[in-house]
């Protein structure tokens, strides 16, 4: 599908999968690879002291972004490890109290898979359904709680649709019932305001590379009082990170995460306003130029950097191939190697065809207005071209109700 756009540079609209490292973050990290390369636990010389100081400064930056104490931040290799540590750490420590965990069908695989694993070990796992907008019902959550419930694990923001869950309400319910509350806040931290105290969060997972930091670095917030949360270690060997996560600390990565969090905190309003402007421009442009599209992101309860749209009467793979100069996702990046339609959208009631033709656009600090306009123009061109080859689209445009047609094999 050749066009005048073929010489245009590729445009990155997949920030929810990963983001470029901010130059300020990279500059902060570099010395800790070659000059200040000490081990943060080597406390008998200058190199170790420098590394330890850098780690503790980063801990403070991470904590400040979510209104926590620095002592409540445990460094991990990323949100997947943080989620595993939260779920498995809680059951390891609190199995005498109960064996029931509540989560949701639309969680990221980094929560669904460890939850399913715990199910094979005999733990009772409840997977809450979602409504037609991909949201959970708080009444259903309350009804699912039993005397054996020890943990509620529900994400703050959905990674495919950008929908914002009622985190504060979930935290309030958990507190009233004396149940620990974990949230996978990977897509929320730095995008919307997160306050672990106001929201009643006991455990929170986050990842550096979703907010202009390096890949392979993350953190788990673990509440220290009201209540004091304890976790059974999943990884043993040295007692690092308050005994919860052993292993030599990735000092450059931690420095990068800390600086990324500092920038997100200081630039929060600026980033929020700019990215909201980009989202409105994209949605308004597509709405004007492309008909018969379904917006899968919640109209109000959605982060500004994600927009998920399905395009009716178009085959999904053809659409992705047609916009090959635009980096987008057809589902979550961790599972998009599969040709299966998005389980997140199917759980919200979307049919296979619409789920297959869904595109997640996500943008960030370095996305330009030109990038958004190029995306609008490309989508208009490719959708028009593909629909010219769709007899179903023509019938619908002529006013034919497809449900009244009796399709024959002859």
CA 86 to chain centre: 16
Q: Are 309 and 350 in contact (CB under 8 A)?
A: no
Q: Is 334 among the catalytic positions?
A: yes
Burial of 150 (0-12, 13-18, 19+ CB in 10 A): buried
End-to-end, the C-alpha distance of the chain in Å comes to 32
Query: Is the separation of the CB atoms in 360 and 160 below 8 Å?
Result: yes
- DSSP-derived 3-state class of residue 167: helix
The DSSP symbol for 21 reads P
Are 165 and 173 a contacting pair, CB within 8 Å?
A: no
- Alpha helices (H) along 267-402: 268-289, 316-322, 343-347, 352-356, 369-388, 391-397
SS3 for 104?
Answer: strand
Cβ contacts of 87 within 8 Å, gap of 6 or more: 101, 111, 114, 115, 118, 151, 153, 182
Catalytic pick among 104, 261, 302, 334: 334
How many Cα atoms are found within 13 Å in the side-chain-facing hemisphere of 244? 27
3-state SS assignment for residue 259: helix
CA distances from 61 to 88, 184, 250, 257 (A): 27, 19, 16, 9
Picking from 65, 58, 142, 75, the residue whose alpha carbon sits closest to that of residue 102 is 142
Which of the residues are catalytic?
334
């Amino acid at each position: 599908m050749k066009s005048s756009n073929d010489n245009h540079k590729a445009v990155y609209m997949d920030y929810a999968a990963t983001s470029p490292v901010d130059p300020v973050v990279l500059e902060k990290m570099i010395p800790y690879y070659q000059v200040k390369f000490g081990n943060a636990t080597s406390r008998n010389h200058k190199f170790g002291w420098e590394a330890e100081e850098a780690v503790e400064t980063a801990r403070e930056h991470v904590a400040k972004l979510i209104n926590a104490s620095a002592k409540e931040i445990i460094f991990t290799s990323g949100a997947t490890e943080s989620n595993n540590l939260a779920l498995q750490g809680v059951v390891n420590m609190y199995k005498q109290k109960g064996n029931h965990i509540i989560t949701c069908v639309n969680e990221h695989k980094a929560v669904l898979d460890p939850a399913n694993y715990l199910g094979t070990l005999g733990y009772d796992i409840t997977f809450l359904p979602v409504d037609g907008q991909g949201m959970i019902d708080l009444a259903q959550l309350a009804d699912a709680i039993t005397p054996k419930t020890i943990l509620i694990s529900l994400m703050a923001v959905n990674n495919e649709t950008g929908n914002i869950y009622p985190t504060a309400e979930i935290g309030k319910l958990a507190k009233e019932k004396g149940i620990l509350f974990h949230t996978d806040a990977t897509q929320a931290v730095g995008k919307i305001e997160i306050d672990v105290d106001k929201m009643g969060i006991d455990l929170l997972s986050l990842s550096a590379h979703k907010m202009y930091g390096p890949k392979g670095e993350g953190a788990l917030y673990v509440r220290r009082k009201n209540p004091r949360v304890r976790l059974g270690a999943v990884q043993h060997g040295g007692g690092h990170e308050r005994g919860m996560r052993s292993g030599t600390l990735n000092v450059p990565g931690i420095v990068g995460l800390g600086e990324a969090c500092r920038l997100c905190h200081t630039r929060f309003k600026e980033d929020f306003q700019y990215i909201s402007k980009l989202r409105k421009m994209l949605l308004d442009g597509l709405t004007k130029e492309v008909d018969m599209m379904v917006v899968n992101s919640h109209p109000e309860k959605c982060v500004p950097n994600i927009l998920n749209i399905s395009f009716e009467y178009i085959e999904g793979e053809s659409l992705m191939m047609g916009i090959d100069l635009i980096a987008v996702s057809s589902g979550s990046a961790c599972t998009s190697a599969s040709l299966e339609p998005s389980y997140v959208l199917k759980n919200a009631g979307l049919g296979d065809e619409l789920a297959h033709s869904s595109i997640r656009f996500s943008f960030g600090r370095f996305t330009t207005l030109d990038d958004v306009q190029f995306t609008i123009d490309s989508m208009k061109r490719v959708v028009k071209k593909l629909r010219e080859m769709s007899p179903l689209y023509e019938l619908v445009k002529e006013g034919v109700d497809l449900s009244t047609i009796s399709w024959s094999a002859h």
